Amino acid sequence: MPAAADDPTPEFDAAIDGDTSGGTSAGTSAGITELRRQEALLQTGALQNAIFNSANFSSIATDAKGVIQIFNVGAERMLGYAVTDVLNKITPADISDPQELIARARALSDELATPIAPGFEALVFKASRGIEDIYELTYIRKDGSRFPAVVSVTALRDAPGAIIGYLLIGTDNTARKQVEAEQKKLDQRLRDQQIYTRSLIESIIDALITTDPSGTITDVNKQMEALTGCTREELIGAPFKNYFTDPARAEAGIKKVLRDKKLTNYELTARGRDDKRTVVSFNASTFHDRDQTLQGVIASARDITERKQLDQALQQTNLELERATFAAEKANLAKSDFLSSMSHELRSPLNAILGFAQLMESGSPLPTPAQKESIEQILQAGWYLLELINEILDLALIESGKLSLSLESMALAEVLADCQAMIEPQAHKSGIRLQFPRFETPYFVKADRTRVKQVLINLLSNAIKYNRAGGLVEVTCSATTPQRTRIAFRDTGEGLSSEKLAQLFQPFNRLGQEAGAEEGTGIGLVVSKRLVELMGGEIGARSTVGTGSVFWVELDSAAAPELNLGHAKLALPVTSEVPAGAHRYTVLCVEDNLANLMLIEKLVARRPDIRLLSARDGNGGVETARAARPDVILMDINLPGISGIHALRLLADDPGTAAIPVIALSANAMPHDIQKGLEAGFFRYLTKPIKVDEFMETLDVALTFSQAGPTRKTAVESE
């Protein structure tokens, strides 16, 4: 065969050339046929040899017992063994995963109902029975690494048909396995995504529905099933509109979504299988596939039945609240009226007490030391009672929301200077040193000047009252932030425990000082706290037992106020004595309370240049004024017959009395009472109990005003 392979066709070539010298034509023909057969065999052998030695296939041939006899190039490449490593030494079972062989043997035993031993028999059993067998297994390379392979097994037989061996042709299945693994992962991801999407849909508290563009339901979640009482299978394929009490409105909603691309807060009433009605808020939008082709509508329906009920309940509550507010406003008005009335009733007798006590204190002859001590007790108790009345009225006014504040920029240096002047006598009397700041840097705050002074005086007074003998009160100012300014008052008193600090700012709670020597109302701090908070500030305290306390107020910082001299008012001159040669004045006092009238008489008696007339009711006062034409009228507000305000109007309408200054003397001391009186036209408004110095100064101003004449009056009134 090899010699033929070197030159296979000399005879064939000669025959083709027509050389017949070596034989007959029949011989020639036979030779040609033989030559062609041999060539075909050669080609087949070459093809078989190429296939057998292909590096892409592992070809392993064994004898009948499974011992390897042939191990091709492909097997060497795939498995890493050389031919000499395996030939006549091992079986294909030795390079296969033993666990897989055991599993294959068990599976074949079950399949063929015959015991099959794990090992080479498991690899070739089907082939040995003439059954085509292609299977997957894991080959183990010489270096111990593993790879999946697809193996085709064929039994090799001799001419009589006896098995002489087996041929195992294998291909590396790694790439396909990887593709399968990736595909498996993709499939799993798709399943996971579908599960996730479904779980997401089912976890939503709203009923979800998808429809095609015609309004036919294509999918729903469990909430939609619960809403309608129908199963998912029953709902899918049914018209969306069929499950609402107003099908036309439901259908219009779908059309509106298709037209506008979305729909929000569209109310519908769902109807369940048991005719249960549920009000829902319908929100929807269109959805498309990846090619932006319209697929239909996705909608959510939220049960708002409870919300509708709550809305109705809220409306009812609001109505009841309005009624309650109206009732509260009436109650507050009644409370204000009551407080105003109580203030009047308390101030009237207190006016007599304090007025006559002041007269006795400064009368002639002066009281004896024993009398002076008694008078001082009367005045002390009276002024304390007045303070209590004022603080209760302030607190009531704040809580009723009727306290009006005038917030403006003010210099703390000026306010504290006023406070220092007012509080120094009390500190000197108690032996307490005061230390006020020196303002190298000006501080301005936005607040109501009167109310700030009220708060600061209260804190200073407490720091003095509850200090120790020879103690110190230190006042400091600082900027806590660029927007806030703090005024602090440090005393050297006994201090407060944490329990007592927690009880600060409670009405009528004097923190155990009720039995002490110092008087107090127990509501000053409460009023101060309310006032500071109304001005947008904050008040607080810290204390150490045995060391002292620090009370502080924080207010909003402000820029320095701009001066406007164009609107400055000229103060009226006030004279404490009537110049010699002045004419005799006439003053009319309209007062129904005899004690108050007697007090006025005593006060006016100190002025020999004043003649006092009196009337006990409003009508009598008007008649007396018209007849006597007094220089000044002192007018109570609450009078028998007509009120002092009504009497004032009658006097103002009469040309003969219109120019007479009328001073209100009233126990109606609420701010709105004072404002009302001034708006009515009173020259001044003085509250009872009367402060003698204030009363005499106001009377002097009114007499000067009356004496000035019409020209001066007009100028002053215009101011």
String of DSSP letters for 499-545: HHHHTTT-TT--TT-TTSSS---S-HHHHHHHHHHHTT-EEEEEEET
Contact 153, 126 (CB under 8 A): yes
Contact 688, 595 (CB under 8 A): no
pLDDT of residue 325: 75
pLDDT of residue 521: 52
| Secondary element (H or E) of residue 41 | helix 25-52
State the pairing for strand pair 548-556/538-544.
Answer: antiparallel
State how far the Cα of 147 lies from the Cα of 310, in Å rounded to an integer. 69
Backbone angles phi, psi at 563, to 5 degrees: -80, 135
Contact 341, 637 (CB under 8 A): no
Contact 659, 679 (CB under 8 A): no
- What does the block give as tokens for 575? 């004279």
* List of residues 6+ apart from 411 with CB closer than 8 A: 442, 443, 444, 560, 561
Straight-line distance from the first to the last Cα atom of the chain, in angstroms, rounded to the nearest whole number: 146
Name the residue with tokens 């003095």: 464
Other C-beta atoms closer than 10 Å to the C-beta of 258 total 18
- What does the block give as tokens for 394? 């302030």
Query: What's the average pLDDT block by block, 10 residues per block, for the chain (719 residues)?
Result: 42 44 60 71 61 76 93 91 93 93 93 91 91 90 93 92 92 84 86 81 83 92 87 90 90 91 89 86 89 90 82 84 77 65 68 79 81 79 70 65 74 87 86 89 86 88 88 92 93 86 68 52 76 90 90 91 39 42 83 83 88 90 92 90 90 93 86 88 90 90 83 39
Predicted TM-score (pTM) of this structure: 0.37
- What does the block give as tokens for 124? 């070739």
Question: CA angle, corner 470, sides to 465 and 472, nearest 5?
Answer: 70
- 251: buried, middle or exposed (CB in 10 Å: 19+, 13-18, 0-12)? middle
- 58: buried, middle or exposed (CB in 10 Å: 19+, 13-18, 0-12)? buried
Burial 659-696 (b: 16+ CB within 10 A, else e): bbbbbbbbbbbbeebbeebeebebbbbbbbbbbbeebb
Handedness of CA 88, 92, 97, 103 (dihedral sign): negative
Q: What's the Cα-to-Cα distance from 191 to each of 89, 218, 221, 233, 622, rounded to whole Å? A: 49, 20, 18, 21, 102
- 420: buried, middle or exposed (CB in 10 Å: 19+, 13-18, 0-12)? middle
Backbone angles phi, psi at 159, to 5 degrees: -60, -40
pLDDT of residue 395: 61
SS3 readout for 258-289:
HHHCEEEEEEEEEECCCCCEEEEEEEEEEEEC
536 sits in the region (left: phi over 0; alpha: psi -120 to 50; else beta) called left
Contact 430, 465 (CB under 8 A): yes
Please provide the DSSP assignment of 93-147 as one string: GGGB-HHHHHHHHHHHHHHHTS---TTHHHHHHHHHTT--EEEEEEEE-TTS-EE
pLDDT of residue 519: 53
Contact 264, 258 (CB under 8 A): no
- What does the block give as tokens for 132? 């085509």
* List of residues 6+ apart from 377 with CB closer than 8 A: none
Burial 95-124 (b: 16+ CB within 10 A, else e): bbbeeebeebbeebbeeeeeebebbbbbbb
Q: Please choose, from the candidates 306, 297, 305, 304, the residue with its C-alpha nearest in 3D space to the C-alpha of residue 220.
A: 297
pLDDT of residue 681: 93
Alpha carbon 51 to its chain's center: 80
Backbone angles phi, psi at 518, to 5 degrees: -85, 135
Name the residue with tokens 């103002």: 652
pLDDT of residue 396: 66
Contact 210, 297 (CB under 8 A): yes
